[in-house]
């Protein structure tokens, strides 16, 4: 699996409501439905995160430190 980028990590932090991998996938999938075609950067970022989340298991997800950092 590819390494998770700073931007991907922050997106996951924002939508990680229930703290589970499946919950985050559901939240991002729902959010994605509301994006417009001109929001291509956010669409691409969301798609990348969803692909990575679907490619990992729950144990790998639990090892992520989903604490937002807004300064690189």
pLDDT in tens, 49-60: 999 999 999 999
Please calculate the CA angle 23-19-7 and round it to the nearest 5 degrees. 85
pTM of full prediction above 0.85: yes
pLDDT below 70 — which residues of the chain? 1, 68-72
Contacts 24+ apart (CB under 8 A), 26-32: 28/53
- Please tell me the predicted confidence (pLDDT) of residue 70: 62
């Amino acid at each position: 699996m590819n390494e998770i980028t700073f931007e991907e990590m922050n997106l996951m932090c924002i939508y990680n409501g229930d703290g589970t991998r499946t919950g985050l996938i559901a939240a991002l999938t729902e959010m994605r439905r509301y994006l417009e075609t001109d929001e291509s950067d956010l669409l691409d970022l969301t798609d990348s995160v969803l692909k990575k989340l679907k490619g990992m298991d729950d144990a790998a997800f639990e090892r992520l430190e989903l604490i937002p950092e807004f300064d690189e």
